[in-house]
């Protein structure tokens, strides 16, 4: 049986890895498999984690960085740091307060949190409870009317941006959670939206092409959606530079380089691999964010050096949530921010704008 969350942070927790080690004692076995699992053989999960070691930081000494900071601005909002809590579904699986705890932590740390369509509290209640900056993650709801209705609820509740997930109309097989017998508790299912009705598939037809994909969005649908809201719309799940350019052309306010944490399609590029290519393709037209495998403040600095405005973290803060609730999440963000500050100071970077690609060296077989 999972242990109750801690009420204080033990002295031996000083990194994301420490929270991951601790969290296994506080999360049910099947729920842990759901959190950690990915599609098929989990190649992409491993690629996300390993990619960050493909660059070394080249420190610079004796720089005057007094008065430095990690502030960044996104869509007119100033954040104390570039660490955004990514949308993670059904957070009451990991702590009784669920999204209430994570949004409290984000607010305390002067950051932002993205609330999932599949949250375990209603999007309105989460917004009412929160004192911080919230964005709303949007899944296409099978048609324009139902999707727009959900957008209008998010607008009315006070969310400040929409994060449209574009890479997951069909989910990959999640073998680890299937082997563990995971099933979402009924009281956490469909809190914000009803299940999407899929068409019946005639015998001999494909359940994918003639079923699920018939209610998936197209470029025409998302172009229409952008015009229906005054909120900035970020497209989450972009890995190809041509898709990034097309998204910007139809009005995307931001691009999130993401492969859904390796949970949708196995065998795709690590997000760090795609990041510099996409950043170059859109050439500063809109902010670029990245997620996937970020576990250290040095990873955040590498992301910034390769073109990211900010980063998003998912599994790490859920480990902290399970371990110690809102206190754990706030502590985790503080650890990452302090690691980032140390990396910046020792690399001669006073602000995020001072972080450029020349602080990195690509690791090759010859140099390892």
d(CA 206, CA 203): 8
DSSP state of 212: G
Radius of gyration of the chain (CA): 20
CA 246 to chain centre: 22
- Candidate list 26, 95, 260, 331, residue with the active-site label: 260
d(CA 203, CA 78): 54
CA 176 to chain centre: 21
Do residues 23 and 322 touch, judged by C-beta distance below 8 A?
yes
Opening angle at CA 195, ends 223 and 121, nearest 5: 90
User: Active-site residue 81, yes or no?
Assistant: no
Do residues 133 and 163 touch, judged by C-beta distance below 8 A?
no
d(CA 312, CA 303): 11
Do residues 350 and 344 touch, judged by C-beta distance below 8 A?
yes
Q: Which residues are catalytic?
A: 260
């Amino acid at each position: 049986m999972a242990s109750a969350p801690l009420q204080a942070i033990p002295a031996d927790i000083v990194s994301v890895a420490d929270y991951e080690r601790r969290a296994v004692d506080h999360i049910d076995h099947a729920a842990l498999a759901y959190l950690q699992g990915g599609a098929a053989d989990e190649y992409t999960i491993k690629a996300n984690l390993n990619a960050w070691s493909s660059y070394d930081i080249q420190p610079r000494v004796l720089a005057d960085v007094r008065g430095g900071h990690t502030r960044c601005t996104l869509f007119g909002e100033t954040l104390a740091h570039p660490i955004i809590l990514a949308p993670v579904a059904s957070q009451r699986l990991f702590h009784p307060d669920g999204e209430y705890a994570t949004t409290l932590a984000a607010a305390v740390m002067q950051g932002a949190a993205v609330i999932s369509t599949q949250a375990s509290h209603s999007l309105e209640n989460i917004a009412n409870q929160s004192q911080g900056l919230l964005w709303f993650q949007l899944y296409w709801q099978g048609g324009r009317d139902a999707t727009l209705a959900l957008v209008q609820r998010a607008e009315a509740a006070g969310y400040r941006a929409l994060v449209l997930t574009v890479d997951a109309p069909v989910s990959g097989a999640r073998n680890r959670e299937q082997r563990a017998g995971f099933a979402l508790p009924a009281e956490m299912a469909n809190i914000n939206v009803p299940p999407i009705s899929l068409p019946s598939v005639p015998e001999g037809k494909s359940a994918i092409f003639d079923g699920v994909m018939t209610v998936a969005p197209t470029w025409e649908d998302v172009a229409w959606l952008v015009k229906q809201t005054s909120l900035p719309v970020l497209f989450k799940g972009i890995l190809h530079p041509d898709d990034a350019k097309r998204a910007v052309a139809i009005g995307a306010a931001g691009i999130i380089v993401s492969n859904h944490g390796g949970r949708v399609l196995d065998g795709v590029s690590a997000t760090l691999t795609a990041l510099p290519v996409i950043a170059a393709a859109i050439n500063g037209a809109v902010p670029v964010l990245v997620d996937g495998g970020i576990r250290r403040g040095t990873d955040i600095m590498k992301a910034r050096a390769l073109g990211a405005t900010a980063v998003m973290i998912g599994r790490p803060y859920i480990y902290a949530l399970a371990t110690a609730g809102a206190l754990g999440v706030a502590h985790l963000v503080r650890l990452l921010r302090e690691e980032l500050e140390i990396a910046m100071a020792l690399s001669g970077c006073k602000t995020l704008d001072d972080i450029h690609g020349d602080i990195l060296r690509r690791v090759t077989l010859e140099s390892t």
